[in-house]
Chain A
Amino acid sequence: MSISFPLRASSAILALTIASRVIAGDIVVVMGPSATAMTRDQIANIYLGRSTVLKPVDLPESSAVRAAFYKKVTNRDADQIKTVWSRLTFTGQGQPPKVLPDAAAIKKVLAADPKAIGYIEKSEVDATVKIVLTVD
């Protein structure tokens, strides 16, 4: 009757391979122009809800960039990320990052809020944002 989470891993890997085929270039983590460089661990902590100093934003779940980002930065797939935020939300320790439809929306939010942090394809980077980490 019960189905455990680990059984779900195969479908997650399938989703990842599909997504990675779509990604062309590098993904970069960006913030407002006054930001300084950050490490991958710092970014991972932010996106896993361990650090609440900055306000992360996400691309939609259907986004291949999102899947690639999480895979590369946190080494976790979508189900695992969901589990993490599920626990944090249920126990009242946090809320999943705000979901924005595309890179443009992210850049807009970042430009307006120096505490906001997001990830986009490198090709999307412009003067409004500053790269704090390049994910490769």
Chain B
Amino acid sequence: MNAAENSFEDTSTMRARMPPQGAGALILERLGHVTDPHLLFPLLAVLILIILWAATLHLIHVERAGAQGTAQTSVRKLLDTYQAQVVRALREIDQTLKVVQFTAETDGNQVALPELQDRSLLPPTLLFTVSVIDARGAVVASTAAVHPATVNDTSYFASLRDRPAANQDIWVDPPHRESKSGEWKLLFSRRMNARDGSFAGVVTETVDAAYFVSGYEPSMLGLEGVLGVLGTDGIFRARRSGDAVSAGETVDYASVVHPGSGGEDLPVFLAANPWDGVRRYTNSRELYDFPLAVIVGVSEQEQLATTSHDRRIYLERAGLASAVVILLAAILGRSSWQLLQSRRLASAAKVEYAERVEYLAYHDGLSGLPNRSLFSKILTRSIKLSRRHQRRLAVLFLDLDRFKQINDTLGHEAGDQLLQEVARRLESCLRDSDTVARLGGDEFVVLLPELGSGEYAAVVAQKILTLLAEPFVLVGQEFRVTASIGICTYPEDGQDEQTLTKHADIAMYQAKEEGKNNFQFYSEKLNANSLERLSLESSLRHALERNEFLLYYQAKRDTASGRITGMEALLRWEHPDLGIVAPMQFIPVAEETGLIVPIGKWVLKTACLQNVAWHNQGIPDLSMAVNLTARQFSDENLLADIAGILRETGMQPSLLELEITESLLINDVNKTLRIMAGLKAMGIRIAVDDFGTCYSSLSTLRQFPLDAIKIDRSFIRDVSSASIAHLHPEKPDLADAIIAMGRSLSLTVVAQGVETKEQADYLRVHACDEVQGFYYNKPLPTEQVTALLQDQKGSG
């Protein structure tokens, strides 16, 4: 068994060594795994996700940077425009103030405005209010319908009045709220001087603070942008975000405008504006001619709104795509994995099934040992190895001696149990390299592949016998089993698997013949006997089919008259090669193999048919004697078979005489009696053949319903040497005694083997009933016997 496993392992190890070697191959193999779908899909998914997110984030970054750049550029341009607009508006106001100032100074306070109005030198009254105020603070003229009467309490009036005459700068008043409408107003003012330089009043121009931020373009600045004019004093003159206009808040001028930033270099910066906390891209610039700065800002949130929106969409799409990719990868990966698993399972199952089938094909189901096929392979292989290495090996053929009996008495289950235990014991006493197999039934075979010497095989055989001799416990009972072992060795006893097995088998038979529970080595002589026997046995099996049997008949005569009274049927075998084979040569084999039963039936039937045929030919009734062997006699169907043959052939039962051996009277008396009673019931006569050889007693004979005894030919031979009783009366002879005994039991006494005239005379003298022998007739084929009978009939 182990050897068998080794052989399978060999092939698998060889397969395992097949893959290419070296680091490169290893890497290729690893890479090969990557292309497995269940790994490939997740890897691809990861790759796709990396690319996807890198692209998305890059896009977002680029867009954001672009949006920032755009915002900065746009703020700078807006500031340029706004600055230009504010400066122009301021100059227009300043120009108006200068014109009014000049006119008033020259032509008088009262007439200045109407004069200028006529010449269209005043700004539209819808937006601007121009006033002329005298040195005492009284408003002497105004383009507005309603205006305060005096302004002498205002800070601008006081400041302009108190400043030196040479200071001709425009006054930009902090925003004030108009009391009536609540609107923020911006007031610009100039000082008027008299010819002597003294203070002559002020000229003012008022405008809505909203005017300076009316250029707010929501399409450019959004709802959260800022447009503003901030005084260098930190007070907002006007500020607008969306539609909301305000003024008057104070902020840290430096932090918003950066002093001295009149140039173009002031960068657009992103910060939360201090006045409302909104983060804006803001740019501001201090004006050259006025104490003011302009501020433009756009809301970061608004400017990047599109970008943020796009960013969210990109992120959402990327997220969605990622989810889809992951889902797909998961589904594909999972199904691939499942597919792979099911393939693996299927192939594993296939392999397992194949292994199982192979195992079943090569192993005995009961014992788990290798079976005949596998053993044959292993032996063939071992023979090859032994031949190559010039080694010897031994085959031990083992057969249990009483297995059939155990099987019959305890049942097959116990028999199987016994076989399993035997298998276990055999395995336990062998080396790993040895093989034990079960060939079927109770036959086991052991292979010793590495045989040092013949003695080792004997040692093993003895070890097995000893081990098996220990009692087995089956169905709660102890049993002892012995085995017969035949041993043959390679190369001495055979060169191939078949021969070795056969010779081991033959040696085993020899061991059986030697009385069982022993082992025998194979020899050529054993082989010869066995071969002859085997040949005979197989020929016998076919003899009936091929009609090779035939019957000879030997006449039985009445001693007194010398007339033929009956016939004895004698079996002959006409072998196609050997010619006529005598019964003593093949009957023992037929007995042993059980072939005697069908052969016996054939004999009986043929004899009966012949007898009936003679009867039909008008020949007077003849008794027909047929021999039964012990085996036939104990055959269960004997009575039924005979009855059937009688019925079939129409033979008169009273003419049939069955000859049995004397040994039957001694062994198993009861059974013999039962059968005899059956025969007698049919009206058949019973004769004891070869009487006198078994020393059966008179009392024994008396028990049986016998009709005749046939004196054994040895007693008749004794009377041949002229020891005629009357010549030597002091020497009583056994033949006479037997005749006397038979007569006393009213049995017909038949002498057989009568070969001489002396014997015939003796028997006539001693009144033996019937005689038979070469002296009268030797056994003859049917035609000659028929002729003989016809002659007798003719002679009347």
Interface residues of A (CB under 8 A from B): 1-6, 8, 11, 58, 61-62, 81-83, 85-87, 89-92, 95-96, 98-99
Contact = CB atoms under 8 A, between A and B. Distances in A.
A83 B210 contact: yes
A6 B125 contact: no
Contacts, number: 70
A4 B243 contact: yes
B-side interface size class: 20 to 34
Given A3-B182, A6-B243, A91-B85, A86 B211 contact: yes
A90 B127 CA distance: 10
Contacts of A91: 85, 214-215
A126 to B, nearest CB: 26
Contacts of B703: none
A86 B127 contact: yes
B278 to A, nearest CB: 14
Interface in B234-275: 239, 243-249
B183 A83 contact: no
Contact of B181 (A8, A85, A99): A8
Given A2-B246, A3-B184, A90 B215 contact: yes
B245 A90 contact: no
Interface string B208-222: 101110110000000
Interface string B168-198: 0000000001000111100000000000000
Interface in B128-165: 145
B249 A82 contact: no
B214 to A, nearest CB: 4
A87 B215 CA distance: 6
B85 A95 contact: no
A62 B146 CA distance: 11
Interface of B: 85, 88-89, 120, 124-127, 145, 177, 181-184, 208, 210-212, 214-215, 239, 243-249
- Centre residue among A2, A5, A86, A90 by max chain B CB count within 10 A: A90
B126 A99 contact: yes
Name the 5 nearest CB pairs between A and B, nearest first: A2-B246, A87-B214, A96-B124, A86-B214, A96-B126
A86 B125 CA distance: 11
Contact of B214 (A58, A81, A90): A90
Given A4-B244, A5-B243, A92-B88, A82 B215 contact: no
30 contacts: A1-B247, A2-B239, A2-B245, A3-B177, A3-B183, A3-B184, A3-B245, A4-B243, A4-B244, A5-B243, A6-B243, A8-B181, A11-B181, A58-B126, A81-B126, A83-B210, A85-B127, A86-B210, A87-B214, A87-B215, A89-B127, A89-B214, A90-B85, A90-B89, A91-B85, A92-B88, A96-B124, A96-B126, A96-B127, A99-B126
B210 A62 contact: no
Contact of A2 (B120, B211, B244): B244
A108 to B, nearest CB: 15
B243 A85 contact: no
B554 to A, nearest CB: 157
Nearest to A88: B214
Contacts of A86: 127, 208, 210-211, 214
B748 to A, nearest CB: 161
A85 B246 contact: no
Given A1-B246, A96-B124, A90 B211 contact: yes
- Centre residue among B120, B124, B211, B247 by max chain A CB count within 10 A: B124
B455 to A, nearest CB: 127
